[in-house]
Amino acid sequence: MPRIIFFQPDGQRREVEAPVGSSVMLAAVQNNVRGIDADCGGCCSCATCHCYVDAAFLERLPAPEDMELEMLGGTAAERRPNSRLGCQIAMTAELDGLVVRLPDRQV
Amino acid sequence: MATAGARALVVVGASHAGAQVAASARAAGHAGPIRLIGEEPCLPYQRPPLSKGFLLGKVDAATLPIRAAAFYREEAIDLLPGTRVAAIDRSARTVTTAAGQRIGYDRLVLAVGARPRLPPVPGIALDGVLALRSLADAERLRERLPSVGAAVVIGGGFIGLEVAAALTALGKRVTVLEAQDRLLARAAAAPLAVHVAAVHRARGVDVRLRTTAARIDGADGRTRAVVCDDGSVLPADLVVVGIGVVPETALAAAAGLACTDGVEVDRFASTADPAVLAVGDCCRHPNAYAGRSLRLESVQHAVDQAKAAGATAAGRPTPYEAVPWFWSDQFDMKLQMVGLCAGWTHHVVRGDPATGRFSIFYFRDGRLLAIDSINRAAEHVAGRRLLAAGRSPSADEVADESFDLAAAARA
């Protein structure tokens, strides 16, 4: 099963397994990783699963759809070039070892 | 006298609001025990997908919990699922469960939600007539789907329309009955409702306005057809009722707390008894954005009010002042609404509705009240910032697509 390495806002490193097809947001919630709110439950409506994807993985991810890009305009923490919404990143085998940093606030 | 750290917080109701109160009270420094009591047998879960992705089979129950069990353990939140609270004794500061267990509190938060309203028509108790509120409701509905050819949805509100969209996508023949002269009469403005009705009809939903169910006919206890007030008969293997909810006020009322279409609370979510708070769907609160008292049924309201109430319960009084926002997904429409449009006198459409991507801005006396966005998330996001900052671009500005809303929101 592919792994995701989260860095929580407190700096703690959390390595979790995420089934293929599951989202980065869901992996965080199900493993009690701190720093993701996910208020809308993963339907790209709230922008509270904002995360920063490690540059080495950015190109391996499918490009964000328009809706995600538009919602990223509403993140509480600074939007950066590697900002994504965790609910819109589906895990694949190729993403094994994905490194994701979580911002200090989601609202 | 007990120290502040030893004070016991009891939260009755373990859905979006209850779970958030418990988490926010802990985050705000509440050091005493926290008990989160829920009637359902599971972890607090996301309700919005129940009428959308869950029905479509895109979301399964295992992915619904708002937080993992480990979260409640780490935060020392004692979750009591499958537990119904039968009474509150405010003088003794205890709640009593249906099983007779007495649980003491220093602060009590009621997050008991609301229950679906059912029309008083013959046949409402037939097998095959369902409302949709809980995971159990959604599971019953989903289990039944393979044997459903035709469905009637009673009520053209958000839940009814989301169910209609999901059932249509699954190949069912769907009729929506709405008593009013337009859809979304309780929850949204007419310009949005007109567009939503057109989209549903284009997708094959039979939308019947000014029409109600007179009775539901069955055979062998099972639903067969809905007979409308105009005499028409609609075959129906399934009837889904979505005509609004009734706030759960019985516990509060029996405990002598004031209730008027909801448990009455102040802007800190406190009832007249400072030891008892109420949050979410069940409460009527003075809404800072609306400038009047109202009741809201939404995830945003549940979560944001619960954050304030959690801090208040932890001894850091925090008023609830968020700008209301809502969302709904129907067919390929992502509807995002921010603000409250009640009292609007003028509206402006930004973008071309024919493209399926546009926003509707509602004004009163030149002041922006609310924005409905259809597949225009950027404008919703900008609108949240504008309204939170109390800014109001003019109607002429928003009608001009070259006017940069995002920049106005940042200004």
**Structure confidence by residue, pLDDT tens digits, A18-64:** 999 999 999 999 999 999 999 998 889 999 999 999 999 999 999 99
Q: Which residues pair with B137 in a beta bridge?
A: none
Q: What confidence category does residue B313 fall into, taking pLDDT thresholds of 50, 70 and 90? A: very high
Which of B46, B377, B382 lies nearest to residue A41, judging by beta carbons?
B46
| CA dihedral for B110, B112, B114, B115, sign (positive or negative) | negative
Looking at residue A10, what is its pLDDT?
96
Q: Chain A residue closest to B322 (CA)?
A: A107
B315-339: burial string, b at 16+ Cβ within 10 Å, e else: eeebebebbbbbbbbbbebbbbbbb
Interface test with B, best of A70, A88, A91 (most B CBs within 10 A): A70
Residue A71 amino acid letter: M
CB B229 within 8 A of CB B103: no
**Residues B198, B103: contact at Cβ < 8 Å?**
no
Quote the CA–CA distance of B326 and B306 in Å, as a whole number.
16
The whole-number average pLDDT for the span B76-91 is 98
Tokens of B362: 């509602």
Among B48, B53, B378, the residue with its CB nearest the CB of A73 is B378
* Amino acid B1: pLDDT: 35
Nearest by CB to A73, from B70, B336, B406: name it.
B406
The predicted-structure confidence for B151-181, as pLDDT tens digits, reads as follows 999 999 999 999 999 999 999 999 999 999 9
Instruction: Taking residues B360-366, report their average pLDDT.
Output: 97
Of A31, A39, A67, the CB nearest to B334: A67
pLDDT, mean of residues B122-136: 97
CB B95 within 8 A of CB B10: yes
Q: Give the distance from residue B336's alpha carbon to the nearest chain A alpha carbon, in angstroms.
A: 8
Instruction: For CA atoms B306, B307, B313, B318, give the dihedral sign.
Output: negative
Residues 6+ apart with CB under 8 A from B79: B14, B36, B38, B43, B44, B69, B72
**C-beta atoms of B68 and A32 within 8 A:** yes
Q: Which positions in chain B touch A85 (Cβ < 8 Å)?
A: none
**What mean pLDDT is predicted for residues B335-347?**
97
Question: How many residues are listed for chain A in this entry?
Answer: 107
Task: Compute the average pLDDT of residues B313-331.
Answer: 97
Exposure letters A40-64 (e unless 16+ CB within 10 A, then b): bbbbbbbbbbbbbbeeebeeebeeb
Which residue ranges form the domains of chain A, and what is each CATH number? 3-101 (3.10.20.30)
Report chain B's mean pLDDT, rounded to a whole number.
96
Rounded-to-integer distance, Cα B386 and Cα B407, Å: 10
What is the Cα gyration radius of chain A?
Answer: 12
Q: Please determine, for residue B388, whether its predicted confidence score (pLDDT) is greater than 70.
A: yes
Average pLDDT over residues B243-255: 98
Chain A residues with CB inside 8 Å of B351's CB?
A: none
Contact status, residue B212 vs residue B175, Cβ threshold 8 Å? no
Asked whether B303 and B19 are in contact (CB, 8 A), the reply is no
Set of chain B residues whose Cβ sits within 8 Å of the Cβ of A30: 63, 65, 68
Q: Is the pTM of this model over 0.90?
A: yes
Whether B381 sits inside 8 A of A29 (CB atoms) is no
- Rounded to an integer, the average pLDDT of B302-324 is 97
Residue of B nearest to A31 (CA): B68
Q: Which residues of B touch A (CB under 8 A)?
A: 46, 48-49, 52-53, 59, 63-68, 70-71, 74, 299-300, 303, 327, 329, 334, 336, 375-378, 380-382, 384-385, 406
A38 interaction partners in chain B (CB closer than 8 Å): 66
Q: Would you state the pLDDT for residue B410?
A: 84
Q: What is the mean pLDDT of residues B134-153?
A: 97
Report percent pLDDT > 90 for chain B: 97
Q: Encode pLDDT of A11-24 as tens digits.
A: 999 999 999 999 99
ipTM of the complex: 0.94
Is A32 within 8 Å of B375 when comparing Cβ atoms?
no
How many inter-chain contacts (A to B, CB under 8 Å) are there?
Answer: 67
Give residue ranges of A with CB < 8 Å to any B CB.
22, 26, 29-32, 38-47, 67, 70-71, 73-74
